[in-house]
Amino acid sequence: MTSPTTPDGRPAAEAPGLLPPPPVAPATSAPAAPSTPTPVAPSGAAPSGPAPSGPAPSGTTASGTTVSGPAATTPAAAAPTAAGPTTRSGRSVRPYDEARVQRAVRELLSAVGEDPDREGLRETPARVARAYREVFAGLTMDPRDALTATFDVGHGEMVLVRDIEVYSTCEHHLVPFHGVAHVGYIPGADGRVTGLSKIARLVDVYARRPQVQERLTTQIADAMVEVLEPRGVIVVVECEHLCMSMRGVRKPGSRTTTSAVRGQMRDAATRAEAMSLVLGR
């Protein structure tokens, strides 16, 4: 191959203002695909034919181009699952760790300036850990288990359980709030009712958790609807919150009332009847 020259015969490299074009790097290309056409599989089915030899492609080339084909697809990483058992209602919870609670209580006592090794406090971490196992037992309970027993009595009118004692723990300050819950429902078309004690158990399942009263009220009503399939539900909760009585604004005796209504209980006349039963008038 001869070098390029100018019109007067000189090499192009020696001519002023004329430079040879820069060398071009040879282009690299991916290996040619097999000439045999790949049969098209029906929608949703994997293509047939022998698998390609050699290591399976990773799904992405060095330049970032995605390689198509089932064998080249890199599956997404699976999301980590929460530790601990899962209740039937689908809520994933960690098992109660009593030893860890003890260590945390001991550290708390030290942090507030106390001596956790003095006689009166030596067993306090263990006592608190045992108490919290009971106070927060609802975290590992399935609320639907509380309403498993039903009876066919052909009753189609309102059933209301008043003054169910409530003891729960404010999730904002970890101090108690207590009061009463009133739970009423109109059975479904089949006339089946649940045991009266089962309603009280349902209240306990949701109360024995770090809670706020508004959510507690809603959860009780929604569980009644989900499990019993009644025509209507009403839940009224009245509580005094120690986070408001013993600290902050310090207003002992003040009570908070929350309600939740579902189905036919939204009807004004039916709701008025239920509230008259709640108030005992």
171 as an active site residue: the answer is yes
Angle at 178 between CA 172 and CA 181, to 5 degrees: 115
CA gap 216, 203 in Å, rounded: 8
241 an active-site residue?
yes
Q: Which of 173, 238, 240, 273 is catalytic?
A: 173
**Taking a C-beta distance cutoff of 8 angstroms, is the pair 221, 261 a contact?**
yes
Q: Which of 171, 214, 226, 229 is catalytic?
A: 171
What stretches of 112-181 show up as alpha helix (H) in DSSP? 124-135
Q: Which of 211, 213, 219, 239 is catalytic?
A: 213
Dig out the tokens for 115 from the structure. Answer: 């001596």
Is 170 part of the annotated catalytic residue set? yes
Identify the active-site residue in 98, 114, 243, 264.
243
Place of tokens 């059933």: 159
DSSP string, 1-39: -PPPB-TTS-BGGGSTT--PPPPPPPPP-PPPPPSSPPP
Out of 170, 211, 219, 239, the active site residue is 170
User: For residue 12, how many other CB atoms are within 10 A of its CB?
Assistant: 13
Our answer to whether residue 173 is catalytic in this structure is yes
* Catalytic-role residue among 211, 219, 239, 241: 241
Active-site option among 107, 155, 165, 172? 172
Just list the catalytic residues: 170-173, 213, 241, 243
